[in-house]
Amino acid sequence: NSHFPFVNAGMQKILGTNTDDWRSLFKAIVVKARKPKWFASHTPFRRYETSTGMALWEKVTHFSPGDVYMAGNFTDFTAITGWQRSKVLYVGDHIVSDLEDANLRHGWQTAGIIKEVEAEVEMQNSAEYQSTLRFSQQLERLMGLAQCNP
């Protein structure tokens, strides 16, 4: 749903770069998709010219790696790419409207860019958490053994 300048700035921040080299990592980049309408609409794809910020109006029949496309729809996306289900990585920043629908309804792989998860990841990577987790797992294993051998 976001415009390219926002997506570009976010990807540069995540990858720690000041260039748009991140685009070479993806076979298709779609911005301003207008979800959830995107999954049911017939809006055509438009190639987005990053240097001018303008949409080009020629018909999109294939995606070129590194190029950016906007709008479009689910049906045309699967027809153009031939990708089904787990071949797609969908990146979003909202658990319900971005990630849940794409994963549960369409079987896509999802990646969430969610600020609130940062503290959780840091906590789970801490030595204290890891130690407590190992202790808990060992305790659970011992309890299971005790229950099997009365």
pLDDT top residue among 28 and 102: 28
Question: pTM of the prediction?
Answer: 0.66
Are the CB atoms for 110 and 102 separated by under 8 Å? yes
What pLDDT was estimated at residue 24? 87
- Is 97's pLDDT higher than 70? no
What pLDDT was estimated at residue 15? 81
Average pLDDT, rounded, for the chain:
83
What pLDDT was estimated at residue 70? 93
Cα separation, 109 vs 113, whole angstroms: 14
108 pLDDT tier (thresholds 50, 70, 90)? confident
Q: 36: cis peptide before it, omega within 30°?
A: yes
Beta bridge partners of 70: 31, 46
- Is 98's pLDDT higher than 80? no
